[in-house]
Amino acid sequence: MGNWIQAFIYFVLRRLLHRRYDVEIRGLEQLEKLEGPVLVLPNHPAYVDPVIMVSHLRFGKSLRPLVFTDTYRSLLFYPLMKVIDAFEVPNLSAHSRDAHAKTTELIDNVAGELAGGESFLIYPSGRLQRQGYEIVGGSRIAYELLERVENVNVVLVRTRGLWGSRFGCAQEGEVPDLARNALVSLFYVLAGLVFFLPKRKVTIEIEPVDRNSLPLDSKQELNRHLESFYNADGGETAKFVPYSYFLGPRDFDYDAVQSKSAVDLSEISDTTINEVHEILEHRLERKLDEGEREPGTTLDLLGLDSLERMDLALEMEQHFGFRSDHVPATVGELCLLAAGKAPSDEQPLEVPDDWFAKHDRVSDHPEVLAETVAEAFVRRALKNAGHTAVADSLSGTLDYRKLLVGASLFSKRLAKLESQAVAIMLPASVAADMVILATLMAGKLPVMLNWTTGPGGLRHATSKLEASHVVTSKRFMDRLGIEIDGVEMFYLEDAKEGISTLEKLTTLLATYVAPGSFLRNLPTPDVDDPAVILFTSGSESLPKAVPLSHRNLIANMRGGIDHMNFQRSDALMGFLPPFHSFGFTATALMPILSGIRVVHHADPTDSRMLARMIAAYKTTLMFTTPTFMQYIVSSSEPGEIDSLRLVLIGAEKCPSALYEQTMEILPELDLLEGYGITECSPVVSGNRPGHNKPGTIGLPIGCVDTLVVHPESHEPLPLGETGILLIRGDSVFNGYYKYDSPQPFVEVAGHRWYNSGDLVSKDDEGFITFRGRLKRFLKVGGEMVSLPALESPLSEKFPADEDGPKVAVEGVEQEGGRCIVLFTTQEITLREANGLLKEAGFQGIMRLDEVRQVDAIPVLGTGKTNYRQLRSWIEEGSEVASDS
């Protein structure tokens, strides 16, 4: 763009700005003698100051401002950005490794342009002022540019008069909506007839400095020097200037805004807050003083720049398990992220109208229409093509026709992959559902990867199945930051770009004119061929590969549907990850194959969003674990989860405190405890609507038989006695894949049974009560000590909340005798803990040997307590005790 066009634009901008801003520039004459590239470094009190700066600083050079992409690409400002040759900057308000890499690349590019003679307007702080003074903090961009480019003129600029403007943070306590405020301002300008506007006095002080005179030994020294210049007069107090002599407010209460924006940590546990402080201290390599521990302390002030804040936020996500698109700016916001309470705009969720569309139902009773998964899906899709099938926040709502078209298109790409096994690593989502179905339609075997096991566990899974590719998304991998050796990544975004519009249209047309072709093109597996490979949770031992056949899965789905009396009019909230056996069968395949709508959310720990989605989508069904249920109940506002009519809880025992809390909020809810195990596809038993015995795991579903036997002799036991649960039926798998140890089956009463390894008892009505894992028993003096039994009264006293479990009991048998340890986040002594057990009726050998206070009880991605990790702590002697 020619310089004369820019000069004309800047002239027009100056004349327009003059109607509202009375700009005085001090030291402008000092710019005339500058030769070579110029780096202008101002403070940043408001969005409007870059426009004032580029239009008023005239020294014969084109001054390129750095502008965040949200502003750069907005419809309102994009033409201007192109005219003034602005330099686009990736937005770091949402943190990801991709944005991190782009920011590093940005610094490299700007340094190269500076060295080549370009001049730039760059704000060292990298963001708007949050207070009446400038904090550069740990920002690195000014330091890195000055360190890399020697022949550059440096111009420091201090702006006064804009703090308190509509375009700054003072009026809202946060970054304002630029486009909205620009339109409001335009209204007042026009209402004031352009020439009759109160003017805001703005002073710009310019000070060219010799680059070599700046303290460049470290970014901290340079940034403190810049702050001393920007805040030389102590900063400024917010000033309100009316937009009209005739309309609008005459003053503004800035103190009220500042008070409203304060971070409240009253509901965050001291343990979580202290852990955040420890992580910060490790990052800073020093102790925090008392003032720095205050919630309002900015991370800038602690010396962390935008990239370091992003790294810290990602570390916090991985450590605590909660996610947020918001990059914390203060110590208090870090604590909110750690507790799963990161700030949210809480805008009403937009639900597509077709989610609630009333379709003619052929039958009120859901049913699976074929004996293999892919055929059952295609038959359901052809039968109810226009019915709503699935939804999530990214894909919107898809009916069965769209889901069939998408799965068909992806199946053609997956069919070309070299290995028979296709590894899939996706969260609960429309994409995950589509990929699972596409893999089976391609005649491939889905292998569901549990990303919470880390790179080692993922590599073990892919090598065991000899999978050549992992199907995932760039967005998801960018968030996880995990790399898997030995496989090629199959990104859905790339595959989607490779699908032509013509292919999409012809596939869509085929659903109308040749629907039978979808059935004819399906592979024809045997019902006993594997339909998926899942992995055991690994809570007790290393994960084992569990192949589940078409017969297993469909028998389990049919048995569960009949047992729970689901309806086609139901809507399911699905958030369990598809590597979770319940997430795969019950919240991914079952609703799609049977005709029940399902809406997904990718993050099971995002309890606030889950509660909001239940409210927005009016879901009636939910399958979850006690941990995740506690998150949702604790995070929901009154009325938000009232639409739920049936919630099935499994994976762990439901604490009575959670049951009571939930029933108090939702007295009409059927809160049903059930039992499942990956090897059984997974549901084995469950309480039923209208036939519920709280404290039990219900009655066996129709596709299985169960038997309770003695742990050692395997002789059947009378009702009421505790023994090992054996299971047989169409939903029970046929053995672990590539497993060298003995398979978990026993012969009893002329039948082959799966040995669950779980201790249960049955009452005279057939209801099963879970007593614990056999592996979680220790033999002491010839008697069995149940670790879950010891844990139960302690977990009743200290129930799990949104921060996770507070207690867990694990033990090992050692040469010197047993060692039973209570791991807890609470302050409790060994004497007090054993006192609670004594009050619960335990005595003698039923006691604890040690208490260890920990920052957090380790959990798996499924929400289960990671007892294997606890056991390793005991064996290694780590996590030092606090048992006085």
Tokens of 229: 């210049």
Q: What is the dihedral of CA 533, 537, 542, 545, to 10 degrees?
A: -10
Which of residues 255, 270, 297 is at a domain's end?
255
Return d(Cα 570, Cα 162) in angstroms, integer: 55
For residues 375 and 323, membership in a common domain is answered with: no
Under 8 Å between Cβ of 69 and 46: no
Q: Which of these ranges, 70-74, 124-128, 171-175, 878-882, has the smallest mean pLDDT? A: 878-882
Q: What is the pLDDT of residues 86-102, one digit of tens each?
A: 888 776 554 455 556 66
Q: What is the pLDDT of residues 838-847, one digit of tens each?
A: 787 666 667 8
For residues 60 and 91, membership in a common domain is answered with: yes
Tell whether 741 is covered by a domain.
Answer: no
> Roughly how many angstroms between the first and final C-alpha of the chain, as a whole number?
75
Average pLDDT value for residue range 51-65: 78
For residues 213 and 315, membership in a common domain is answered with: no
Tokens of 505: 């249209």
Tell whether 208 is covered by a domain.
Answer: yes
Return d(Cα 211, Cα 227) in angstroms, integer: 16
| pLDDT at residue 540 in the model | 47
Q: Which of these ranges, 33-42, 78-87, 185-194, 833-842, has the smallest mean pLDDT? A: 185-194
| pLDDT at residue 687 in the model | 94
| pLDDT at residue 279 in the model | 86
| pLDDT at residue 343 in the model | 60
Tokens of 631: 């998150």
- Residue partners of 812: CB distance under 8 A and separation at least 6: 778, 818, 819, 871, 874, 875
| pLDDT at residue 685 in the model | 95
For residues 95 and 155, membership in a common domain is answered with: yes
Return d(Cα 345, Cα 514) in angstroms, integer: 47
For residues 283 and 419, membership in a common domain is answered with: no
Taken in order 233, 239, 243, 245, the sign of the CA dihedral is negative
| pLDDT at residue 189 in the model | 66
Number of structural domains the chain divides into: 4
Taken in order 371, 372, 373, 377, the sign of the CA dihedral is negative
Q: Residue 732 pLDDT > 70, yes or no? A: yes
Under 8 Å between Cβ of 809 and 848: yes
For residues 178 and 290, membership in a common domain is answered with: no
- Which residue(s) pair with 748 in the sheet? 751
Return d(Cα 687, Cα 693) in angstroms, integer: 7
Q: Which of these ranges, 407-416, 602-611, 771-780, 821-830, has the smallest mean pLDDT? A: 771-780
Q: Residue 881 pLDDT > 50, yes or no? A: no
Per-range mean pLDDT, top range of 240-254, 313-327, 372-386: 372-386
Which residues span the domain enclosing 822?
781-884
Under 8 Å between Cβ of 815 and 787: no
Average pLDDT value for residue range 669-683: 92
Per-range mean pLDDT, top range of 115-124, 176-185, 322-331, 552-561: 552-561
Q: Which of these ranges, 15-29, 529-543, 587-601, has the smallest mean pLDDT? A: 529-543
Return d(Cα 246, Cα 768) in angstroms, integer: 76
Average pLDDT value for residue range 208-214: 88
Q: What is the pLDDT of residues 426-450, one digit of tens each?
A: 999 999 999 999 999 999 999 999 8
Q: What is the pLDDT of residues 765-787, one digit of tens each?
A: 999 998 876 666 665 544 556 67
Q: Which of these ranges, 330-344, 519-533, 604-618, has the smallest mean pLDDT? A: 330-344
Amino acid at residue number 491: Y
C-alpha pair distances (Å), 296 with each of 129, 136, 328, 384: 14, 16, 11, 55
Length of the chain: 884
Average pLDDT value for residue range 732-758: 91
For residues 552 and 404, membership in a common domain is answered with: yes
Average pLDDT value for residue range 630-659: 84
Which of residues 240, 255, 270 is at a domain's end?
255
Band of the pLDDT at 755, cuts 50, 70, 90?
very high
Which bin fits 649, alpha (ψ -120 to 50), beta or left (φ > 0)? beta
- Burial class from Cβ neighbours inside 10 Å (0-12, 13-18, 19+) for residue 619 reads buried
Average pLDDT value for residue range 715-720: 91
For residues 380 and 331, membership in a common domain is answered with: no
Tokens of 645: 């009519």
Band of the pLDDT at 706, cuts 50, 70, 90?
very high
The residue among 374 and 124 whose pLDDT is bigger is: 374
For residues 139 and 269, membership in a common domain is answered with: no
CATH classification at residue 268: 1.10.1200.10
CATH classification at residue 827: 3.30.300.30
Under 8 Å between Cβ of 263 and 333: yes
Tell whether 8 is covered by a domain.
Answer: yes
The residue among 435 and 74 whose pLDDT is bigger is: 435
Residue 508: Cβ within 10 Å count: 15
Tell whether 64 is covered by a domain.
Answer: yes
Which bin fits 198, alpha (ψ -120 to 50), beta or left (φ > 0)? beta
Band of the pLDDT at 362, cuts 50, 70, 90?
very low
Whose tokens are 């903090």? That residue is 137
For residues 646 and 524, membership in a common domain is answered with: yes
Under 8 Å between Cβ of 425 and 439: no
For residues 298 and 241, membership in a common domain is answered with: no
Q: Residue 195 pLDDT > 70, yes or no? A: no
Q: What is the percentage of the chain residues whose pLDDT exceeds 70?
A: 86
Tokens of 839: 């009050």
- In terms of Cα–Cα distance, which of 518, 529, 575, 534 is closest to 551? 529
Tell whether 343 is covered by a domain.
Answer: no
Which of residues 671, 686, 705 is at a domain's end?
705
For residues 242 and 377, membership in a common domain is answered with: no
Return d(Cα 215, Cα 227) in angstroms, integer: 13
Please tell me whether the overall predicted TM-score, pTM, comes out greater than 0.95 for this model.
Answer: no
Mean predicted lDDT score pLDDT of the chain? 83
Tell whether 740 is covered by a domain.
Answer: no
C-alpha pair distances (Å), 800 with each of 665, 830, 855, 865: 17, 20, 14, 11
Q: What is the percentage of the chain residues whose pLDDT exceeds 90?
A: 31
Q: What b/e sequence results for 65-100 when a residue is b if at least 16 CB atoms lie within 10 Å of its CB, and e otherwise?
A: bbbbeebbeeeebeebbeebebbebbbbeebbeebb
Tell whether 328 is covered by a domain.
Answer: yes
Q: What are phi and psi of 225, to 5 degrees?
A: -65, -45
Q: What is the 3-state secondary structure (H, E, C) of 643-696?
A: CCCEEEECCCCCCHHHHHHHHHHCCCCEEEEEEECHHHCCEEEECECCECCCCC
Tell whether 528 is covered by a domain.
Answer: yes
Tokens of 372: 């293999």
Q: What is the pLDDT of residues 257-283, one digit of tens each?
A: 555 556 677 778 888 888 888 888 887
CATH classification at residue 377: 3.40.50.12780
| pLDDT at residue 506 in the model | 95
